[in-house]
Structure 1
Amino acid sequence: MHELRTPALRLLAACVGILLLALAVLALRESLPDYSLSVQTDGSRLSVLAPDGAIEVRALGPPTGQAGAPVLLTPDLLVEDPDMLSSYAGFRALLAAQGEMTALTTQATAAGQPLRLHLENGDEIDLPVTAETPLRHLPAMFWVQWAVGIIVLAIAAFLLVLRSGHNGRQQSEGLGGFVLAGAGVATAAFTASVYGTRELSIDPDLLWRLSIVNHIGTFAFGVGMIGLFARYPRPVLASRWVRAVAALAAVNEIAYRLQLPPYDLIKPQVLIGVMFLTILGLILAQLRATRGHPADRAALRWLGLSVLLGSGVFVLMVSLPALIGAETILSQGLAFIPLCAIYVGAALALARYRLFDLDRWALRVLFSLAVVALMIVVDTVFLLTLSLSGPASLASAVALVGLVYFPMRDLVFDRWLGRRRPDLAALYRDTLSVAFQHGGQAKANAWRGVMERLFAPLRVEALPAPVTGALLEDEGLALVIPGPEGTPALRLGYAAAGRRLFNAEDRALADELATLAEAAGRDRVTYETAVARERQRIARDLHDDVGSRLLSSLHARDDGQRQDFLIEALSDLRQIATGLAGREVTLPLLIGQLRAESRSRAEALDRRLIWPPGSADEAEIPLRYDMQRNLTAIQREALSNALTHGAGDIHVTATCDGQSLHLCLVNALSSADRRAEGPHRGNGTGNMRNRAEALKGRLEAGPTENGHYRMELYLPLNADIS
């Protein structure tokens, strides 16, 4: 027996029950007679459609040659719901006429003959009739209401059968009210689908019974919705008051059926209006009770939207016009569609499904719905009080809404309902500042400060474990945010000081900021690494180049060498200072400095340097500091080799094609170096080659066949050496 009580089996049993009930309603509607001609009304007369147009009809008579008095046909006979009649007498007259037409229909179907339809012009036409309506002849409005009944019952059964057994008391009571309201809507839809879509006649006893059941369903909906908002999301009204409303509905129905009080006081639309106002009052009470409870407030907003969209349309377009004796604005059958929307929306709210997304636009839909209601109210007021034509009153309503609505919409959306967008420039600046904090604690505090200023949460908690991306938790009550490198992840609770839920937009923004802070941190590390590398390079140049030349000048044996060392040291200091100051050094400027320095060194040893201007002197290409230092060192080393091991003139050329530099130095070897095996056995050439390779370049050096020594340097000027 325990297995029979599983939720799956309970749900299956509920679905079978709903299917059987729907089939019973379908069979009941098929049992109504089917007429071959469609009789229509414009509110003042009846007519049938013919090839020549609409023909006014006056009465319905028995088949030709059979006894029986004709039944006078009035527009009230085709009223969609008996509750739309203006008096008890009208209801009694409808039942009497339906009884007479049912008798004529039974007489015609038994004899297999058509009824006689009497026209206003005195003619008569045959009206064939069958005892039952084939499935294919059922009108579309029947299927609409029939489907609404099935959908609403299925949703109510789903939540009832699969509800958690650990719900709190008020949630259980609220869910009970929701299920009762669902049963009421389904009952009203099923019964209205039968008698509201009749073609002409229906058995008066069946109409009487269906009307009673329809009222029970309608009042059950109202009582259920009152019970729902009395206890959900927060308890605001004791259950005994809900039972009192149910008792009032029962008394109202009994008095209505007994026809005791005045009709205008006891007609169903009066109680429907009272229930609707009670529901609105409970929604307002729930708004007050859910302050400081953002999840409950979000559920209430979505529930309120569903109720106003569904029952509000039914009351304003069907019940209110019937209450004041006017034509209904919307067919009762179509009005069941927004009632069905109540259950789709309410089920989402009760199941708490992605409320953090629904809550973002619920207020905007509510506001738009209020504008539609304002147009309807203004139109109705103009029609009833000023007796204007329909187009004139509609134009007045549109003008009023146009003058009031659009400014009010901007004011409400921008100042009240719209979320204040953060200052993107300030947000970007604050996020970047996180990456430039020194120390993990300072960075963590800065990141926490950014999140607190952005989301204004009531609670902020540092998480021990890292997370890979932002995550919504507890239906939007909390938002988990990853921290930039070196900072803990954060769990934020209750956005905007508890006035709203976190949503998908917040999650995406948090992810973007975390990514930005992470990228800024990496950029800072890259920058600091480059700075440290540059400092090490400058320190090495000061130690290796300047320091060694100063020491060499101290130990030089003659003044000439000492002067050369000092000049080179000063040149190195100037170059290092230029690099530290960030001043731009171009290729022509460096070539000019090297040419002047090389000529001074050569002339000091009675040698001649021939270095004519070349294309490199015209290429305004900026050089990096490392490029300046290595190119200077290569040129000095090559010149030192030429001065030490060569004889005669020294020829230098420097050309540039815009992308690379070609530096060539050629000098004649001395007779001793020509006779020696492998001149220049020192480390000079190897050092030059290493410096060239560090700059992604290439260096070739060695003696030539004609007794000269040639050094060629090929250096790309835009190579990335990081």
Structure 2
Amino acid sequence: MSRAIFRFCIQEIDPCSQTVKLACGENVDMGHSDGAEAPAADPGGQQLRWAIGSTLQVPLFRLTLLLILAAALVSATLALRLAQPAIGAGLLTIDAARGTIYTGREGPAPLLALLPAMGAEAAPLPVTPALVIEDPDMLGSYAARRQLFAAQDRLMALAEDALARGLPLRGLIALPDGQNALVDLPVTARMPARALPAGFWVQLGCGAVILAVAACFVALRAGQSTGRPTPEGLGGFVLAGLGAAVSAFTAGLYSSRGLVMDGGTMQLASALNHIFTLLFGVGMTALFARYPRPLLGRRWVVAGAGLVALQVLAYRLELLPHDLVSPQISVALLFVAIIALVVAQHRATRGHPADRAALRWLGLSILLGSGVFVALVALPVALQHDSILSQGMAFLPICAIYLGTALAFARYRLFDLDRWALRIMFHLGVVALLIAVDILVLVTLSLSGPASMASAVALVGLAYLPLRDLVFDRLFARHRPDLASIHAGAVTVAFQIDPAAKAEAWQLLLTRLFAPLHVTPADHPVPAARIADEGLALLVPAQGGAPALRLGHADGGGRLFAAADVALAAQVTQLVQAAEQDRAAYEAALHRERRRIARDLHDDVGANLLSALHAKAEQPRQDFLLEALADLRQIASGLAGRPVTLEAQIAEMRAESRNRAEARGHSLHWPLGSADDCTQLISYQTRRNLTAIHREALSNALGHGAPGEIRVTADCEGMMLHYRMENPLAAAQAGAGPDRGAGCGNMQSRAQAMGGQLHSAADPARGIWVVTLAMPLTARPEGTP
């Protein structure tokens, strides 16, 4: 078995140690019993009794024994059903609306009467709707029940006589042309399994499933091995299962009889069905009287069961009027009692979310199981109408009660079941409301069918749909903070520097999202968000400097934590981690920028100031000071974050170069180019490297070139800048290779840092030194090769 959710279920079976952990805390060994010691001597058979008692205390043995008993009961039901004779197997169909239909060669045609075999002297037996009714207790009087059983005895006598003669019975059918005809209806001593209707197999299967689930609860229940009291509600749940299963088996016997069944067997099956059907109701009332919270004392439960037993006796002995003690009336009253206890339990479980979740799931099962049976089978019969649903198929929703419990037992989506229960119960209520509105319109306004439908449609459009949206928004919508609020909280956590402040901000964010009653550090590492203690707690992993946390009782104890809460906690965790990564990237970029500015201050401004300090001539000193001032302006502009366009940078470089060249006795020719019309913004890094390359090239031209005109061009093609400087070639530079010349290595490294290419070489044929630069206007990411 899997893990249980209800307190009367086991919690875990350990296949390695072969022990069962029970909800009340004790362990039961799967191979031997607890708390029992074999006596040393057994002169009077005491040792045998001890061995049997010890064996019965082993949970798996008890489970195996109960399942064998359940299988035996299923087999006995099937064997008893097959042992009944059959009339016209495969030739007759029982239809609730048209009666018994002959489907042989002359059919389909209604079967009017049964006649004895050829040569027998017996009166014909009319085939009335009462003869083929699904359940004898659906008849409206005691007399009608007695007549049915007497008719079954007559049918049984006819069938036995036909079997003794080896002849078929004869059936009187009504042909479509208005004439009557006789047809042969073969009689078999046993019902062929292939001729059994689907309803019988449905009831047999439902009973088997219910017995299997109830057997698991009985065999593996808490407190079995230590003598502790049985958990509250378990007895009622198991009694209800036994009642539902036996009532399904007995109903399957006579509801699938076709035409004939032994009258005594049918009376016994009907009585057992009555008793065990009410036992199901008594068990359910006992369950909700004690589970999840004890509401009524056991004496009150026993007293209620006694009243039901008196009602059964009064009905079976015909002591009170039929309409007062009919089984359908008893079923309806028990169902009302169950609903009242569920409502009372809902109030009693206020402040206990785990109990309330289990109650909602069981309540949903009751509404889908017992409610369908009562509304579609028992209630119409109590109002002297035909049942809406076949009794055999009505056991399917009752079986769903125990299948639903098994699902919850396996903890399948346990923490979302309470919300599913609310949604399904709301839809059931809406269906009932629509039916009530339609009936009200019909009764009060005496409208025809189409007019009633039109009125119902108008009411749905004008009242139901707006009300439905309002109720869904109020009850079922998850009231979470909006995404902006969650993002703001995550960023607040990520941008806390102090670990204590980060832990406090993280706890405040979780408190705002889930509103837990208490938040405590987790007592063990939490790799990922998950639910603990059956939804009472949510474990959240550690976050940066914040420890792993345990959130207890969501929404102030008003609900359990659900799978959606786990998903939300995981998303918020990922959001905080992403924000921390963004913060780390921002801080890394900030540190890189600071280091770059410090390097510029040291390498450029510092070098120029030092050169000015050691310059012997006034003109070089002035040049160094002007360059230092220009560098300071660029660095200050970069710190202020003021954007600079390429055209502004080219204009600044042109003005600075002209002053330097004229001070050295050179002329500068720098015509306007396409770069002077480029409004592309350039980064601080691009600006500094371009300025440094141009200054170095101009310094080489002024210091090492021959007197003459210096020519500079700057053009922009797309996102690439093409720069070129030409200056007269001095005699000492005439034989220089392309890699020679002052500062060429520094210019090369700066160009490569920007993803550009720089070439510096002499052109002896023209007598000039040429520097060309091609570089992108967008800054290259740092660290890119």
Under TM normalisation by the shorter chain, which class is it? over 0.9
Instruction: State the shift of 1:407 in Å.
Output: 3.3
Q: CA–CA distance in 2 between the matches of 1:394 and 1:186?
A: 40
Report the residue type matching 1:31 in the other structure.
Answer: A
More helix by share: 1
1:361-376 alignment runs, 5 A limit: 361-376=420-435
Residue 398 to residue 158, structure 1, CA distance change in 2 (3 Å):
farther
**1:44-63 to 2 correspondences below 5 Å:** 47-49=101-103, 54-63=108-117
Deviation at 1:697, TM superposition (A): 3.2
Counterparts in 2 of 1:327 and 1:377: CA distance versus 1, 3 Å: farther
Q: Distance in 1 between matches of 2:204 and 2:407?
A: 22
Amino acid paired to 2:709: D
> Counterpart of 2:278?
219
Task: Give the drift of 1:93.
Answer: 0.7
Residue 90 of structure 1: aligned partner: 144
The whole-number CA distance in structure 1 between the counterparts of 2:670 and 2:67 is: 101
Q: Give runs of aligned pairs for residues 115-514 of structure 1, distance below 5 A.
A: 115-119=169-173, 123-165=181-223, 172-349=231-408, 352-376=411-435, 404-463=463-522, 467-514=526-573
Provide closer, same or farther for how the CA distance between residues 457 and 583 of structure 1 changes in structure 2, counting only shifts above 3 A: same
Q: Distance in 2 between matches of 1:486 and 1:669?
A: 65
Which of 81, 85, 88 is the matching residue for 1:29?
Answer: 81
Distance (Å, rounded) in 1 between the aligned partners of 2:93 and 2:445: 34
Measure how far apart 1:71 and its partner are.
1.8
Q: Report how far residue 259 of structure 1 moved.
A: 0.8
What is residue 714 of structure 2 aligned with on the other side?
Answer: 654
- Say which is worse superposed, 337-346 or 594-603, in terms of deviation: 594-603
The Cα of 1:323 is off from its aligned counterpart by 0.9
Query: Which of these residues, 117, 120, 126, is aligned with residue 66 of structure 1?
Result: 120
Report the Cα offset of residue 673 of structure 1: 5.0
* 1:301–1:362 contact (8 Å) kept in structure 2: yes
Deviating more after overlay: 281-290 vs 376-385: 376-385
> Which residue is 2:37 aligned to?
none
Return 648-657 or 74-83, whichever deviates more. Answer: 648-657
Which residue of 2 is the match for residue 721 of structure 1?
A: 782
Structure-1 separation of matches of 2:675 and 2:776: 13
Distance in 2 of aligned mates of 1:269 and 1:311: 12
Aligned partner of 1:247: which letter?
Answer: G
Q: SS of the counterpart of 1:91?
A: helix
Report deviation, 1:704.
Answer: 5.0
Report SS of the residue matched to 1:301: helix
Is the contact between residue 462 and residue 490 of structure 1 (CA under 8 Å) also seen in structure 2?
yes
Match of residue 665 from structure 1: 725
Decide whether aligned partners of structure 1 residues 511 and 179 sit closer, same or farther in structure 2, where only a CA change above 3 A counts: same
Q: Secondary structure of the residue that 1:172 maps to in structure 2? A: coil
Seen in structure 2, the aligned counterparts of structure 1 residues 400 and 106 have a Cα distance that, compared at 3 Å, is farther
Cα deviation, residue 409, structure 1: 2.1
Aligned AA (1:26): L
Q: Distance between the aligned counterparts of 1:388 and 1:42, measured in 2?
A: 29
CA 1:395 to 1:677, structure 2 compared with 1: closer, same or farther past 3 Å? closer
Alignment of 1:679-694 (within 5 A): 684-694=743-753
Candidates 550, 557, 569, aligned match of 2:628: 569
* Local SS of the residue matching 2:232: helix
Q: C-alpha offsets along residues 66-103 of structure 1, whole Å, 9 cap, x if unaligned? A: 11122233211111101111111111111111111110
Give the letter for the 2:213 counterpart.
I
Instruction: Provide the rounded CA distance (Å) in 2 between the counterparts of 1:57 and 1:416.
Output: 56
The separation in 2 between residues aligned to 1:104 and 1:153, in whole angstroms, is 37
Aligned 8 A contact 1:303 1:349 in 2:
no
- The residue number in structure 2 matching 1:642 is 701
Deviation at 1:356, TM superposition (A): 0.8
Please give the alpha-carbon distance, in whole angstroms, between the structure 1 residues aligned to 2:475 and 2:83.
56
Distance 1:399 1:171 in 2: 54
8 Å Cα contact 2:737/2:762 also seen in 1: no
Change (3 A) 1:553 1:715: same
Counterpart residue number, 1:8: 60
Matched, 1:611 2:670: yes
1:181 CA displacement: 0.9
The question of whether the paired residues in 2 share the 8 Å contact of 1:460 and 1:493 is answered with yes
Distance 1:384 1:52, change over 3 A: farther
Shift of 1:500: 0.8
Q: Which digits, 9 at most, give the CA deviation of each residue in 1:95-130, with x for residues without a partner?
A: 111111110111112212111223465543322221
RMSD of the alignment, in Å?
2.9
State the 1:489 CA deviation: 2.2
Residues 377 and 54 (structure 1), Cα distance of their counterparts in 2 relative to 1, 3 Å cut: farther
Of stretches 357-366 and 96-105 in structure 1, the one that deviates more from structure 2 is 357-366
Q: Which runs of 5+ in 2 are unaligned?
A: 1-50
CA distance in 1, matches of 2:517, 2:768: 83
| 110-119 vs 2-11, greater mean Cα deviation | 2-11
Give the SS at the match of 2:114: strand
* Partner-residue secondary structure (3-state), 2:400: helix
Query: Matches of 1:150 and 1:291 in 2, distance apart?
Result: 36
Distance change (3 Å), C-alpha of 1:258 and 1:391: farther
Assess, with a 3 A threshold, how the Cα gap between structure 1 residues 74 and 398 changes in structure 2: closer, same or farther: farther
Other-structure match for 2:15 = none
The answer to whether the Cα contact below 8 Å between 2:102 and 2:173 also exists between their aligned partners in 1 is: no
Kindly indicate whether the alpha-carbon contact (under 8 Å) linking 1:40 and 1:48 is maintained by their aligned counterparts in 2: no
Letter in 2 for 1:654: A
Q: Distance between the aligned counterparts of 2:450 and 2:98, measured in 1?
A: 20
User: For the residues of structure 1 that align with 2:243 and 2:208, how far apart are their CA atoms?
Assistant: 12
Q: Distance in 1 between matches of 2:287 and 2:655?
A: 96
Partner-residue secondary structure (3-state), 2:345: helix
Which of 138, 142, 164 is 1:110 aligned to?
A: 164
The alignment's TM-score, normalised by the length of structure 1, stands at 0.92
The alpha-carbon distance between structure 1 residues 591 and 237, as it changes in their structure 2 partners (threshold 3 A), is same
Aligned position for 1:541 = 600
Evaluate the alpha carbon distance shift between residue 403 and residue 68 of structure 1 in structure 2; reply closer, same or farther with a 3 A threshold. farther
2:733–2:762 contact (8 Å) kept in structure 1: no
- 1:278 Cα deviation from its structure 2 partner: 1.0
The answer for unaligned runs of 5 or more in structure 1 is none
- Counterpart of 1:18 (choices 54, 70, 80) is 70
Which amino acid letter does the alignment assign opposite residue 559 of structure 2?
A: R
CA deviation map 1:425-452 (0-9, x unaligned): 2222222222222322222211211111
Cα distance in 1 between the residues matched to 2:462 and 2:333:
32
Q: Deviations over 1:392-427 (max 9, x none)?
A: 777766665665543332222111343324222222
Per-residue deviation, 1:606: 1.1
Local SS of the residue matching 1:691: helix
Query: 1:630-662 CA deviation, whole Å, 9 max, x = no partner?
Result: 211111112111111110333333344324333
Normalising by structure 2, we get a TM-score of: 0.85
* Partner residue in 2 for 1:622: 681
Question: What are the within-5 Å matches in structure 2 for residues 690-705 of structure 1?
Answer: 690-705=749-764
Tell which deviates more after alignment, 358-367 or 652-661.
Answer: 652-661
What is the aligned-residue identity percentage?
Answer: 54
2:29 matched to which residue of 1?
none
Asked if 2 retains the 8 angstrom alpha-carbon contact of 1:144 and 1:333, the reply is yes
C-alpha displacement of 1:568:
1.8
Q: State the alpha-carbon separation in 1 of the partners of residues 452 and 208 from structure 2.
A: 39
Q: Which whole-Å CA distance do the structure 2 matches of 1:116 and 1:133 have between them? A: 18
- In 2, the alpha carbon distance for the partners of 1:447 and 1:532 equals 27
Equivalent pairs counted in the alignment come to 721
